[in-house]
């Protein structure tokens, strides 16, 4: 079986998990207890050690995705700050030229 689904998540997204006999992770894109949610449930045939291994891989992938986003945000903030600094320097230099020409 092969499939692909896309769900857009945003500020309202709520994520919760249960570690009961049937461990599951619920992703609710439109907010807590809103209609339409995604369930990731661990196969009941897996041992508890295997379940933990799967959860660790899942968590590591989400953490890596988050780290990539954080790096991109930092790069964009740095670029914005450098551009603002350059504009300020240009304005300072123009002010010096204008003030020196009088």
Whole-number average pLDDT of the chain: 91
Spans of all domains in the chain: 1-41, 43-102
35 versus 94: the higher-pLDDT residue is 94
Contact call for residues 23 and 41 (beta carbons, < 8 A): yes
What's the DSSP call for residue 69? H
Q: How confident is the model at residue 3 (pLDDT cuts 50, 70, 90)?
A: confident
Q: What is the pLDDT of residues 7-64, one digit of tens each?
A: 889 999 999 999 988 899 999 999 988 888 999 999 989 999 999 999 999 999 999 9
Query: Which pLDDT band holds residue 95 (cuts at 50, 70, 90)?
Result: very high
């Amino acid at each position: 079986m092969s499939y692909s689904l896309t769900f857009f998540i945003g500020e309202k997204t709520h994520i919760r998990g249960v570690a009961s006999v049937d461990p599951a992770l619920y992703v609710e894109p439109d907010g807590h207890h809103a209609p339409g949610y995604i369930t990731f449930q661990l196969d009941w045939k897996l041992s508890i050690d295997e379940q933990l291994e799967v959860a660790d891989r899942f968590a590591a992938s989400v953490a890596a995705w988050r780290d990539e986003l954080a790096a991109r945000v930092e790069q964009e903030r740095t670029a914005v700050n450098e551009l603002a600094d350059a504009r300020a320097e240009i304005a300072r230099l123009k002010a010096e030229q204008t003030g020196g020409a009088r």
